[in-house]
Amino acid sequence: MAADSVRLSLAEGPVENEPPRHRSVLRRRWTRVVVGVLAGLVTLVSVAVLALYLWPLERSALQQATATTLDFTAAEEQAQRAVLADTADGMVTRQCRTQLLSHGKRTAKAVLLLHGYRSCPKAYDALAQEFFKRGYNVYVPRESRHGLVDDTASNDIKAEELVEYANDGMNIVAGLGVEAGIVGISGGGVLATWLAHYRGDAVARLLVLSPFYRPGASRAPAFAVRPFTLLFGFGLVPDRITGEKFSFRALAQYQRVVFNYADRPQCPVLRTVAAVVSPNDELIDRRVAFDVPTALAQVNPKASIETRELPAGFGLDHDILDPDVVPPDRQPDIYRLYVELYEGTAG
C-alpha cells in the first residue's frame, strides 16, 4: 500500500509546481477587466476629443447685427456722450478715452477705428489725425472693459459684448459720413472684419492691421485653436494669464468671433479691402491674416484687395500702429500708407 502511494505521488509530480486552476481563471478574468477598462478609457478620450472638434461654436448673437439709422446730429450726439462719459469716469485712464474728431457736419467720408485687446483709442492718436486732415469724421470708441485703471478688467470681455461695441460704433460712423469704413488692429481687426461680414449695408472700406484671426504657430498650432476656443471661450477650464498679461479666456473671445464669420458674406457697398502685417509678428498667423480679407474680396467682386508686409528692418512686430512704438522717422510714411491702402490708392 505504501509503495503504491509513492508511485502515485511520483506519477502526479510535485503538487507545488502545478498552479491551481482557479488562479488561471482569476488571471483571465482580471485580464478581461483591465482590457475592458482600457477600452472604456480609450472610448471616453475619443469621445472627448471628438467633442472638442465637433462641438458647435456658432451662436446666433454673433451672426447678426442690427443697423440703426442715425442722422448726423444724432450720430454726433451719441459719440459726444461716449466721450463725456469717459471724461467723467475716474476709472477710465486719461489717454484711453473715446475720441471723436468731427468737422461739425456730415462729411463725404467717415471712419471707425477699433483698437485691439489690452489696448485703447490712444493707439490711433496719429492715424486718427491723418484721416481727419484728409476731411474724414473720425470716431475711436473705447471698448468698455479696456483703458481702465484696473488693467485686468479686459480679461472678462465676452464675444457678444465685443460685437455689440463694434456695431454701435458702426451705426454712429454711418451717420457721420456719406461713406463709412473701418480700420482695426489685432483684435480690432477681427471685429472690423466681422462688421464687413454682417454690416454689408454700410461698410465701404476695410483695413486690418495685424489681424488676430488665428494665433501664430509658435503660440498655438492650428489644430489646437478650436479646442482652445471651446475650452477657454466658454469657461470650461480655468483661465490662464501669460507673462505678457494675456488672458487665454479673453483671447478666446476674439476667436469665437472669427468662428462666427459668414461663409460667403455679401457686402454690396464694399469697395476696398486691405491687410498689413509685419514679418516679425509671431503673435498671429500671417498667412491667415491675408487669406481672410482676400476671401472677403473674392466673393464681393466690386471690392479690390491689397496685402502688404512691412519691411523687417522697420523693427516692428505685432503693434504696427501706436505712435509710442512706431519709430518717429517712419511714422509719416507708415500712416500715409495706411490711409492710401484704406482708400485703395496705394501704389
pLDDT at 32: 66
Please check the confidence at residue 6 and state whether its pLDDT lies above 50. no
User: What is the tens place of the pLDDT at every residue in 154-195?
Assistant: 999 999 999 999 999 999 999 999 999 999 999 999 999 999
H or E stretch including 249?
helix 248-258
**Could you tell me whether strands 304-309 and 272-277 are parallel, antiparallel, or unpaired per DSSP bridges?**
parallel
User: What is the tens place of the pLDDT at every residue in 73-128?
Assistant: 999 999 999 999 999 999 999 999 999 999 999 999 999 999 999 999 999 999 99
Please check the confidence at residue 10 and state whether its pLDDT lies above 70. no
Query: Residues with Cβ < 8 Å from 106, sequence gap 6 or more?
Result: 71, 72, 137, 175, 176, 177, 178
Please check the confidence at residue 15 and state whether its pLDDT lies above 50. no
pTM of the model: 0.86
User: What is the pLDDT confidence band of residue 1, given thresholds at 50, 70 and 90?
Assistant: very low
Cβ pair 73, 97 in contact under 8 A:
no
Compute φ and ψ for 332, nearest 5 degrees. -55, -45
Query: Residues with Cβ < 8 Å from 215, sequence gap 6 or more?
Result: 225, 251, 283, 284, 285
Q: What is the mean pLDDT of residues 330-346?
A: 98
H or E stretch including 288?
helix 286-298
Q: Could you tell me which residues are beta bridge partners of residue 109?
A: 179
**Could you tell me whether strands 137-140 and 99-101 are parallel, antiparallel, or unpaired per DSSP bridges?**
antiparallel
How do the domains of the chain map onto residue ranges? 55-343
Q: What is the mean pLDDT of residues 119-143?
A: 99
- Cα 125 → chain centroid: 23
Please check the confidence at residue 17 and state whether its pLDDT lies above 60. no
What are the cell numbers at 331? Answer: 511714422
The CATH code of domain 55-343 reads 3.40.50.1820
Neighbours of 122 (CB within 10 A): 20
Q: What is the mean pLDDT of residues 126-146?
A: 99
State the chain's mean pLDDT as an integer: 91
Task: Write b or e for each residue in 305-341: b if 16 or more Cβ atoms lie within 10 A of its Cβ, otherwise e.
Answer: bbbeebeeebebbbbbbbbeebeeebeeebbebbbeb
pLDDT at 55: 84
Residue closest to 342 by CA, chosen among 274, 267, 270: 274
User: What is the tens place of the pLDDT at every residue in 196-225?
Assistant: 999 999 999 999 999 999 999 999 999 999
Percent of the chain with pLDDT over 90: 83
User: What is the pLDDT confidence band of residue 146, given thresholds at 50, 70 and 90?
Assistant: very high
Task: Write b or e for each residue in 130-151: b if 16 or more Cβ atoms lie within 10 A of its Cβ, otherwise e.
Answer: bbbeeebbbbbbbbbbbbbeee
- Rounded to whole angstroms, how far apart are CA atoms 180 and 191? 15
Radius of gyration of the chain (CA): 30
Give me the amino acid identity at 48.
A
Please check the confidence at residue 37 and state whether its pLDDT lies above 90. no
Scanning the structure block, which residue is given the C-alpha cell 461716449? 82
